[in-house]
Chains A and B, each alone.
Chain A
Amino acid sequence: MRVTDAMRINTALQAENNVSLQMSKVSQMASSGLRVSAPSDDPAAYASITERAAQMGVIQGRSSAASRAAEDLNLAESTLDSADNILVQIRQIAVEQANGTQDATSRANASAQVASLRQQLLALANTQGSNGYLFGGTKTATPPFDSSGVFSGNGNLTHVEIADGVLAVSNASGANAFTSAGGEDVFADVQNLVTALSNNDVSGVQASLTTLDASRAQVDSARIDAGLSAQRLTAAGTVMSSALTQLQVAQTSEQDADAPTTLSNLQETQTAFEESLQVTKQILSVSLATANIG
């Protein structure tokens, strides 16, 4: 086969072009640190990286919603715990004043004390969390209890998604804790005690011991519910965080270029490029036109 100058040049240029192309790919990989930076680099991997990124976004979104709800539920739990303590104090006062030895003055004083505790209870029931009033159900913008203890909120629940299609309760029910929806109207019960004490009505005071016990049990049960909901969200948060870590590991291994391999590839292609230049130079220098014959 005849070998022409154009053939030698073409072949050298083509070889050099192939090495340059390879070098540009490897350099891009080395500088970006990414094995897949465009869909055409690896279409299947690009699709799975995109889907995984979306999955990670979903989990991050759910996780932050769950942790925020858990904070509010923890606040609700501790608020209900304080309410329970106040009810314990009120019950102690009722027990003391149910005794026949107490006189009208003592009961009048106790009445004022219980009325003040009732105000504290009201303030607790109107506690605000990160998303408005904690115990108003979905009526989070206005105080759920007015000064007379009348409830203007609702018992509706809010939820957060903790796994695909799995919803967890994200608020504590003020209706169940403090109103007759849970069985006892706590503020009415306490108000009855205040009235009985101020009227020096011993049998009334004795009667309110039963309702106060029921109220305490009701607030306590709501506190436990809030605590359980918070725990469920915290546990879900832990699961999500470990899932996220796993996804991140998978994402990194699929998306990122392996640094040592990339570097050695880069060196290889650089060497190949230099060699190709040398060979081209050598090929082009061999010619009768430039040879010094004779």
Chain B
Amino acid sequence: MSEPPGVVCRECPDRVFANVRGDSGDLRLRRAVAQVAGLDLPREPGTWNRADRSRAYWLGPDEWLLVVEGDDGLALEERLRDALDGPFSVADVTGAQVQLELSGPDAGKVLQKSSPYDFHPRKFPPGRCAQTVFSKTTALVAAREDGAFDVVFRRSYADYLMRWLADAAAEYGYRLE
């Protein structure tokens, strides 16, 4: 097939994940995360922030997912713990998560097929993220500036979700990298 595929899926194996919880208004929490990951925790519901190699996704009013490239999960947790001083929680959840990048002109259509959430660009512009029902499981989906999407889901559903994506994207042309 010489036609470029409508959907390209790429696994991002070099990511580590930390679940961070605490009062979003507490400066000690915000400073510690800024010091370790170089970014500010998003306070606006359903948004995410990024720095050079790290991202912070809003999961709830007092909960975030911190994703860092090419790091060590336990070491990241340790650094956060060292920097944090107060009633906060940090847990390395690298072993539980898989991150994919969905790109291509029809990536958004595959998301729309997979979920009851409104992934129309008007409602879901770059900088937004949402945890929602995704096929028969759940996922965190984030819209990026370059038009691609980051999808984070549970590792135990990886086999199922990869088959689902391949099937859902087949009509647009699908390439797995």
Question: Are chains A and B native binding partners rather than an unrelated pairing?
Answer: no
- Give residues in A with beta carbon < 8 Å to B: none
